[in-house]
Homo-oligomer: A and B are copies of this chain.
Amino acid sequence: MQNQQIQALLSPTSVAVIGASTRPDTVGRAVFANILLGEFQGVVYPVNPKAYSIMGVRAYASVLDIPDPIDLAVIVVPARVVPKVLEECGVKGIPAAVIITAGFKEIGPEGARLEAQIRDIGRQYGIALMGPNCLGLMNTDPGVRLNATFARSMPLPGNIAFISQSGAVGVAALEYVVGENIGLSKFLSVGNKALLHENHLLEALAADPQTDVILLYLEDLEDPKGFIELARRVTEKKPVLAIKSGRTREGARAAASHTGALAGSDEVYDSLFRQSGVLRADTLEELFDYARALALQPLPKGEKVAIVTNAGGPGIMATDACVRYGLRMAPLTRETREHLRSHLPPTASVQNPIDLIGDAKEDRYALALQAVLDDPNVDAVMVICTPQIMVDLEAVARTVVQVVTRHPASKPVVACFMALEGLERVLAILDEARIPNYRFPEAAARALAEMVRYTAWVNRPRTPVRIFDDVDRETARAIVEKARAEGRTFLPEPEAHAVLRAYGFPTVPGRLARTEDEAVRAAEDIGYPVVVKIVSPHIIHKFDVGGVVLNLQDPDQVREAYNQVLARALAAMPDADIWGVYVQKFLPTSKGLETILGMHRDPHFGPLLMFGLGGVYVEVLKDVTFRIAPVRELGAYRMLREIRARALLDGYRGQPPRDIHALAQCIMRLSQLATEIEAIQELDINPLLVMEVGQGAHVLDARILLRPVQEG
């Protein structure tokens, strides 16, 4: 999409409303009236073949009749007429259009066909096309002032932009921000996303000087891979916050791998947001709570919060909330405490939370606020003020504004005036210094915590996606392609290990043996003890058929195991094609710590990587973490810290600390393998046995499933 066309969409100087109407209770009436009466700074043209004028403005039968150039067409005609009028927009060379009309893919196959048609027209003429089935768009910039929606109210100008995939959620958000006096820069309702989707608009808002914080309401992502790349870039400069709803719609997938079975779409979205630096909220209230702090206040340097309050109870609640959301209570310096001690009454608490006591007037607030802003141990401040008999809330608010405005320290300050009466005046005063107020301390604490998270993201070490040049792509590809050529979708273990070996994974020595004698020879070469596992392209779950015997110490045991696993496998699956057994060096799992590393290629998201500890941790506790490949070095290490049982990697009860570098290497190699060999559909290394620091890790068992040829 050309930048110029997006510009025309977001900041048009001339707008045609196709389907403008004067009939009450119609969208065509509402949209036209909103633009005309909303002090649009450009020119609006109603288009309606049956009208001479609409609300006193000269109407045209078609955009083709309008003598002037048009930046943006807002289309509200019935669905079946949309292709025709959109075509006319194209002919006239209108660079941008919003189709508010509903009745497209959301109503079924017929609508979907119509939507495909308008997509084609949009593409053909290169129109920046938003919608259909959307609420429209708003731009509050005083130089534009466009309300091209049918919503009842337009928010104040501000530096927060909102992109909504749901019109109704958009309306709810607009009603909320208007009620709360929250300013927006742009409001964009993307609807069915026939052409423009969240990525295009996110990119445009990243470059928008009026926008400092970008909010998204999403039900899905059109292009997740592109979103990750883009969001990583955008979040370098502006916080991006998202609600992703529809969390519980999709059940667990049916998949042969652990990774596939555990990767519910919600976990995937969590990883996706985490690796792209997008902050996730659950509710609109949370979303705007976070956004206000990020839009109005400077970022904190760290996570240490000071609380100034005139009452103990709310101070305790605020402390609870800070700790709950991962903040720390700032340990005030001795100077700060002594200063407070010598100026505050003896009953005041000069420990954090600083309790000024109920009879505190604004002077005590000034003193304490100044002190914590001065204190190098304090990264962020929460000011709590409850109505008390002596307190003049407005005076306190004015004092807070004065101190904050004059203070050179760039520390975020949030307020919590827990009052109703007189609150409006208080809020107006706080607005001057762009200090967000929260009704209760919990919301203030949560907003500070999100600021800290965003700061941590911005300050994270930048690491590359590592490309290992010691990998032998050709060998790996050849194994995969040979199997696919034979119509197989499963790589038995000799092949799976060979693929991993080619990608530099620390596989343990092993060899395919087709006869009892070959098995013994392999064992002799590899060295005892060994393990023997059945090898068949038809037996994916070899443990379930008794196809594995561990810890074989001598030739006799190998022979016995050979015959045993063959007999069991054939008993369980008489028609299975048996290649022989895999004779592999036996490593007792007790020598290390079992982990699981897996990959599942999602049709929508691409390759998902999963890491966890093995056995109970993955199967009962579901203590695993995900990333979408490619994963960067930092991401690989972070995965190791995200599991609940992470302490086991550090060593526990006389167990040594584990070789996390070897694990991170394996994660990055898997990321590369998943990216380079797309024919691999699923892969589980289970267990990946990690040894103590410096001793590496060992791939003990691996399972690789392929995409069938016809698919790919």
Q: CB distance B310 to A168 under 8 Å? A: yes
**Residues A347 and B106 in contact, CB atoms below 8 Å apart:** yes
Q: Enumerate the 3 nearest inter-chain pairs by beta-carbon distance, A residue then B residue, closest first.
A: A166-B313, A168-B311, A169-B313
Chain B residues near A254: list those with CB within 8 A.
none
Whether the pair B421, A152 counts as a contact (CB closer than 8 A) is yes
A159 on the B face (CB < 8 A): no
Q: Report Cα–Cα, A653/B166, bound state, in Å.
A: 44
B389 touches A26 (CB 8 A): yes
A178 lies within 8 A of chain B by Cβ? yes
| A296-330 at interface with B (beta carbon < 8 Å) | 310-314, 316-317, 319-321, 323-324
Known: A388-B171, A420-B179. A282 touches B442 (CB 8 A): yes
Query: From residue A390, how far is it (CB to closest CB) to chain B in Å?
Result: 6
Assess whether A150 is in contact with B389, with CB atoms less than 8 Å apart: yes
Interface residues in chain A, defined as those with a beta carbon under 8 Å from any beta carbon in chain B: 25-27, 30, 102-103, 106-107, 150-153, 164-172, 175-176, 178-179, 217, 219, 243, 245-249, 282-285, 310-314, 316-317, 319-321, 323-324, 346-347, 358, 386-390, 418-421, 439-440, 442, 615-616, 619-621, 644-645, 647-648, 652-653
> Can you give 12 A-B contacts (C-beta < 8 A)?
A107-B346, A152-B387, A153-B420, A153-B421, A175-B418, A175-B419, A283-B321, A283-B440, A285-B440, A616-B652, A620-B648, A620-B652
Return chain B residues, CB-CB under 8 Å to A248. 319-320, 323-324
Question: Which has the most chain B C-beta neighbours within 10 Å: A25, A172, A389?
Answer: A172
Q: Are B246 and A316 in contact (CB under 8 A)?
A: yes
Please give, as numbers and ranges, the residues of chain B lying within 8 Å of A312 by CB-CB distance: 106, 166, 168
Interfacial chain B residues near A439, Cβ < 8 Å: 176, 285
Q: Which of B26, B167, B311 contacts A313 (CB 8 A)?
A: B167
- Interface contact B648-A176, CB-CB below 8 Å: no
Given known contacts A107-B347, A323-B248, A313 and B168 CB-to-CB distance under 8 angstroms: yes
Chain B: CB-nearest residue to A178: B420
Partner of A168, one of B26, B284, B386, B621: B386
Which chain B positions have C-beta within 8 A of A346? 107
B652:A619 contact, CB within 8 angstroms: yes
Question: Are B320 and A246 within 8 A (Cβ)?
Answer: yes
Q: Which residues of chain B have C-beta atoms less than 8 A from A171's C-beta?
A: 311, 386-388, 418
When distances are taken between beta carbons in the complex, the residues of chain B under 8 Å from A176 are 418, 420, 439
With most chain B CB atoms within 10 A of its CB, the pick from A167, A176, A245 is A245
Q: Is the CB of B418 within 8 A of A245?
A: no
Per a CB cutoff under 8 Å, which of B317, B421, B615 touches A175? B421
Given A243-B317, A249-B316: 5 more A-B contacts, CB < 8 Å? A166-B311, A167-B311, A168-B310, A170-B313, A247-B320
What's the nearest-Cβ distance from chain B to residue A141, in Å?
Answer: 23
Give the docked Cα–Cα distance between A442 and B172 (Å): 13
Cross-chain contact A168 with B358 (CB below 8 angstroms): yes
Query: A27 to B26, alpha carbons, bound, how many Å?
Result: 57
Is A167 a contact partner of B358 (Cβ separation < 8 A)?
Answer: yes
Q: Chain B residues with Cβ under 8 A from A420's Cβ?
A: 153, 175-176, 178-179
- Are A317 and B169 interface neighbours, CB within 8 A? yes
Alpha-carbon distance A243/B324, docked complex (angstroms): 15
Contacts of A175 in B (CB 8 A): 387, 418-421
B389 contacts A168, C-beta separation under 8 Å: no
Q: Give the contacting residue for A616; candidates B167, B316, B418, B648; CB below 8 A.
A: B648
Min CB gap A624→B, angstroms: 14
- Nearest-Cβ distance from residue A23 to partner chain B, whole angstroms: 11
Q: Which of B27, B152, B249, B317 contacts A319 (CB 8 A)?
A: B249
Q: Which residues of B contact A421 (CB under 8 A)?
A: 152-153, 175
CB contacts (< 8 Å) of A247 on chain B: these are 320, 323-324
CB-CB < 8 A to A418: which residues of B? 168, 171-172, 175-176
Docked Cα-Cα span, A421 to B152, in Å, equals 8
Chain B residues near A311 (CB, 8 Å)? Answer: 166-169, 171
